[in-house]
Amino acid sequence: MEADPNSSPNSCLRVDVARQTIHFLLNGVRVKSWPVSTSKFGLGAEPGSMKTPLGKFRIFEKIGDDAPAWAVFKSRQPTGEVSTPGGSEDGILSRILWLEGLEESNLNTRDRYIYIHGTNQEHLVGEPASHGCIRLKNEDVIELFSLVPPGTEVEIA
């Protein structure tokens, strides 16, 4: 696969599923880390499984650059609504980093709509709680979003 001309070869993201953290690395050095929530249904790439896929990915698209913190997204579009903490719905808030799989085992990731995004369930960040995506606290995903261009490598392990 050709290198993405928009990506920065010096930056990448690593999701540590066991520790429920995401790390931003620059020139191989960890610069910043944040707690995350991966899927409460486990790990895997089966369609409809609501599991978090493993392997190598890249950021296919960044969505929500000018949205306010806690902005609600439906079908990757801001609704104009701003969420509040809590609730049972698995909200997609603040920013979206849409992932694209780069390995045979996870090529369906983009079609499964697996994102890195903010959540209305910030109290669950740090433990497996999502429906397949990588969830961060809203201020954290806004900060992360500002650091990475489209095409940035992401590894989930």
99-154 pLDDT, tens digit per residue, is: 999 999 999 999 999 999 999 999 999 999 999 999 999 999 999 999 999 999 99
Class of domain 11-156: mainly beta
| Calpha distance 22→128 (Å, rounded) | 13
H or E segment and range at residue 146: helix 138-147
- Mean pLDDT for the stretch of residues 14-20: 98
| Calpha distance 116→92 (Å, rounded) | 9
138 Rama sector, left if φ>0, alpha if ψ -120 to 50, beta otherwise: alpha
Confidence class for position 86, pLDDT limits 50, 70, 90: confident
What SS3 state is found at 123? helix
Confidence class for position 80, pLDDT limits 50, 70, 90: very high
List, in order, residues 6 or more apart from 73 with CB less than 8 Å away. Answer: 63, 64, 67, 79, 92, 93, 96, 117
Task: Please give the single-letter amino acid code of residue 150.
Answer: P
Rounded to 10 degrees, the C-alpha dihedral 71/22/128/117 comes to: 20
